[in-house]
């Protein structure tokens, strides 16, 4: 899973990036609105955390331009200004959730996970496919109730496939959502991660759909 953090305060941006990274996300950062708008238009994200008070282009303008361009990424808006009219403006501009500063990182992570669940039409925090259960909140995967240790990249590949159960996901799409912007995005390495997941979780879990990609069953 891949997240975009848009925050011009370096310390907070680093805290958010570190927390999301530890939660299993590949994270890109933008320190101003112009950069954020560009990344939102040119990259694929599963969620964005967007500050409103940004240099070059304010967060509301960024959000409006994303929505006008048909970019439907779930967006959690952050602001130091907690007046009710700014909250309304953020929601009207297309925000999916809203948090005022200061906030607890744990609550932000919970809201981010909830946004992703809602965007995928899932109600429960844990995602299941047969004997496999992935808990994004705990960063934990179990098979028949026993914990299975995965690397960060393996977890991201599995999480993306689990969030898109029943659909064949191309290797290139997986690579876009597993790696951050500055990473070497070799889609061939996805084959390696899928092979490792099959060894750890069972060969039957991930189906290869010839010419289309990989699929995890809907059940």
Query: Which pairs count as long-range contacts for 114-121, CB under 8 Å and 24+ apart, including other chains?
Result: 115/47, 115/74, 115/75, 115/76, 116/1, 116/46, 116/47, 116/74, 116/163, 118/74, 119/46, 119/47, 119/72, 119/74, 120/163, 120/164
Q: Which domains does the chain have, with CATH numbers?
A: 2-119 (3.40.50.2300), 127-216 (1.10.10.10)
Residue % of the chain over a pLDDT of 90: 58
Residue 161 is encoded by which pair of tokens?
A: 């496939």
The dihedral of CA 67, 83, 15, 155: what is its sign?
negative
Region of 24 (left: φ > 0; alpha: ψ -120 to 50; beta: rest) is left
- 119-142 residue pLDDT tens: 776 556 688 888 999 988 778 899
Kindly list the distances between the CA atom of residue 58 and the CA atoms of 33, 187, 199, in Å, as whole numbers in the listed order: 6, 34, 47
Contact 214, 198 (CB under 8 A): no
Residue 219 banded pLDDT, cuts 50, 70, 90? low
- Report for 120-124, 172-176, 201-205, 214-218: range of highest mean pLDDT: 201-205
The dihedral of CA 116, 40, 180, 196: what is its sign?
positive
Alpha helices, DSSP H, located in 45-97:
59-68, 84-93
- 66-118 residue pLDDT tens: 999 999 899 999 887 656 666 677 778 888 888 888 889 999 999 999 898 88
Provide DSSP, 135-188: ETTTTEEEETTEEE---HHHHHHHHHHHHTTTS-B-HHHHHHHHS-TTS---TH
Burial (Cβ within 10 Å: 0-12, 13-18, ≥19) of residue 198: middle
The mean predicted confidence, pLDDT, of the chain is 88
Instruction: Give the pLDDT score at 89.
Output: 77
92-106, 148-162, 175-189: which range is least confident on average? 175-189
Instruction: Give the pLDDT score at 119.
Output: 79
Instruction: Give the pLDDT score at 59.
Output: 92
Instruction: Give the pLDDT score at 9.
Output: 94
Residue 192 has pLDDT above 80, yes or no: yes
Instruction: Give the pLDDT score at 138.
Output: 78
Q: How far apart are CA 35 and CA 148, in angstroms?
A: 38
- For tokens 């403006």, name the residue: 89
Q: How far apart are CA 213 and CA 206, in angstroms?
A: 10
Q: How far apart are CA 27 and CA 112, in angstroms?
A: 13
Residue % of the chain over a pLDDT of 70: 91
Instruction: Give the pLDDT score at 180.
Output: 83
Residue 177 banded pLDDT, cuts 50, 70, 90? confident
Contact 213, 173 (CB under 8 A): yes
């Amino acid at each position: 899973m891949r997240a975009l953090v848009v925050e011009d305060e370096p310390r907070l941006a680093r805290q958010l990036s570190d927390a999301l990274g530890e939660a299993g996300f590949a994270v890109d950062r933008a320190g101003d609105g112009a950069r954020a708008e560009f990344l939102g238009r040119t990259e694929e994200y599963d969620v964005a955390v967007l500050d409103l008070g940004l240099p070059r282009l304010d967060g509301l303008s960024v959000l409006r331009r994303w929505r006008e361009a048909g970019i439907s990424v779930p967006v959690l808006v952050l602001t130091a200004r907690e007046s009710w009219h700014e909250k309304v403006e953020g929601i009207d501009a297309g925000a999916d959730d809203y948090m005022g500063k200061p906030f607890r990182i744990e609550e932000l992570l919970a809201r981010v996970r909830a946004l992703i669940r809602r965007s995928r039409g899932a109600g429960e925090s844990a995602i299941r496919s047969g004997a496999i259960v992935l808990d994004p909140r705990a960063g934990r995967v179990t098979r028949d109730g026993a914990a299975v240790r995965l690397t960060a990249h393996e977890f991201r590949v599995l999480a993306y496939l689990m969030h898109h159960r029943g659909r064949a996901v191309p290797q290139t799409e997986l690579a876009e959502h597993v790696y951050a912007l500055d990473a070497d995005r070799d889609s061939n390495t996805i084959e390696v991660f899928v092979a490792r997941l099959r060894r750890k979780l069972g060969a039957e879990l991930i189906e290869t759909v010839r010419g289309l990609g990989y699929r995890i069953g809907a059940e």
